[in-house]
Amino acid sequence: MKRAFFTFFAVVAMAFAVNAQGINVGDTMENFTLQGTDGKTHSLNDLKGKNGAVVMFLSAQCPVVKDYIERINKIAAEYDAKGIKFIGINSNHTESLEWVTSDAKENFPNFPMLIDKGNKLADKLGATVTPEAYFVGADNKLLYHGAIDNDRKGKNIQEQYLRTAFDAKLGGKAIERTKANAFGCTIKRLEADK
Amino acid sequence: MHSAAPSNVLKLINKMPSTRVKRFTAWAVFAAFAVMFFAGTAAAQRSADPPKSVPVAIDGPKITQIDIDEMRDLLKPKGKPLLINFWATWCDPCREEFPDLIKIDDEFRGKIDFITISLDDVDDMTTVVPKFLGEMKATMPAYLLYTADPDAAIKLVSEKWTGVLPLTILYNADGSVSYLRMGKVRYIPLAEEVKKALAVGAK
């Protein structure tokens, strides 16, 4: 009985711990300021477009991100023209600034790549995976959170979650699917390897 | 030229002074021709087959492909605590933690059920996945999940799972989740968790 009570308590505590961090669809993403691989500081409010922004957690190492390079650039270019700006974020403490800078130059040259030192932004937003997208409207309200599409290799794409969310928003319709997960790499947090 | 060579060589050997030298030289010549013959055959085979169709001898366990419905059955313990590791060969922390999982399997084999579910591509099922498991000397039943709806698979395992790999989940024998970890596990803390799940089952 004592054990059962303790277990219940532990489960409740864990549930709180999970919910304590991160933002949910409908919440407002607070403005943030981070240093970019271009050496300049950027903020969400400066970077977002007239129809919002996508804050996307990426990695120079993650093979899943590598699989998505082409698709990410294609979507970014297409929706940049429609007023939705992409913002790349690298929170992996295992990837050096030099590495992230050269990788961004090579693979993501058309949108800023910001360095989330100490994974503070990842903690605040509750980001855990790469790639992982947070789509906010011009008012910074979170509209969609999660995967780009359903198929890592791109051979059997049936759902383009992110694109569908953009189109709904741009068309003034409600976004049907506001959250979808996919398999990806861990964000390499400072404390995780200890 | 090949066919002429042996008879000329035999004549030369016959002219040699002692039988011992003769015998040795004959062996050496035979061995040299044997090597040439086999090398020639192998080269012919290589050029005849496109590289991909050459069967690669993979020294590893059999991998069973599953879909979401089959995975649903695998998530249910069968009288013992059940440990499941979700992983992929492309995932660095997954590969790094694997030796610790092997130690867990060695220590608790028979007491718990332990399976691995790979999220690699179906194409990898006969190549890199068994190769890695073979190198690790893994004997846990190995599965590979293929689904067009990873979100549904992730939700089915746990509402807490964000899809990050690796994921290690431990069920008590009654099917309740006793431990869930996203990211690398280590032998000692995981062994403690397994012992806890075994203790729950014993009561």
Domain presence at residue A6: no
Interface test with A, best of B119, B162, B168, B172 (most A CBs within 10 A): B162
Q: Do B151 and A184 touch (CB under 8 A)?
A: no
Query: DSSP strand E in chain B: where?
Result: 63-66, 82-87, 113-118, 142-145, 164-165, 167-171, 177-182
Which residue reads 């058309």 in tokens?
A110
B122 by DSSP, 3-state: which?
helix
Write down the pLDDT at residue A192. 61
CB B13 within 8 A of CB B25: yes
Q: What is the domain extent for residue A62? A: 23-186
Query: Beta strands A184-186 and A179-180: pairing type?
Result: unpaired
Residue A15 falls within a domain, yes or no? no
pLDDT tens across A145-180, in order? 999 999 999 999 999 999 999 999 999 999 999 999
Select the residue from A12, A65, A95, A186 to test the B interface by mutation, using most B Cβ atoms within 10 A: A186
Residue in B121, B151, B183 closest to A186 by CB = B183
pLDDT at B42: 43
Query: DSSP assignment, residue B102?
Result: H
For residue A109, the domain's CATH number is: 3.40.30.10
Q: Is A13 near chain B, with CB under 8 Å?
A: no
Give me chain B's average pLDDT, please.
82
Residues of B in contact with A187 (CB under 8 A): 164
**A10 in a structural domain:** no
Say if the Cβ atoms of B148 and A192 lie within 8 Å. Answer: no
Compute the nearest-CA separation of B158 from chain A (Å).
Answer: 12
Q: Does A64 touch chain B (CB under 8 A)?
A: yes
Tell whether A125 is covered by a domain. yes
Chain-chain contact of B163 with A183 (C-beta, under 8 angstroms)? yes
Give the model confidence (pLDDT) of B27-40 as tens digits.
554 555 454 444 44
Residue A64 belongs to a domain: yes
Interface contact flag, A180 B91, Cβ < 8 Å: no
Provide the shortest C-alpha distance from residue B165 to chain A (in Å): 6
Domain count, chain A: 1
Amino acid B35: pLDDT: 46
pLDDT at B61: 86
Q: Mean of the per-residue pLDDT values for chain A?
A: 92
Mean pLDDT across the stretch B104-109?
Answer: 98
User: What's the CA gap between A76 and A87, in Å, rounded?
Assistant: 9
Q: What is the pLDDT of residue A174?
A: 97
Side chain identity, residue A86: F
Chain A residue with minimum CA distance to B161: A181
A21 interfacial to chain B (CB closer than 8 Å) = no
Q: How confident is the model at residue A1 (pLDDT cuts 50, 70, 90)?
A: low
A91 at interface of B, judged by CB pairs closer than 8 A: no
pLDDT at position B23: 57
Full-prediction pTM beyond 0.90?
Answer: no
pLDDT value, residue B5: 43
* Complex-level ipTM beyond the 0.95 threshold: no
Task: Give me the mean pLDDT over the B181-199 stretch.
Answer: 97
Contact assignment for B155 to A181 by CB distance below 8 Å: yes
Q: Is A13 within a domain?
A: no
pLDDT at position A4 is 58
H helix or E strand, kind and range, residue A133:
strand A132-136
All residues at 6 or more sequence positions from A160 whose CB lies less than 8 Å from its CB, including other chains: A148, A149
Decide if B148 touches A, using CB distance below 8 A. yes
pLDDT greater at residue A19 or residue B105: B105
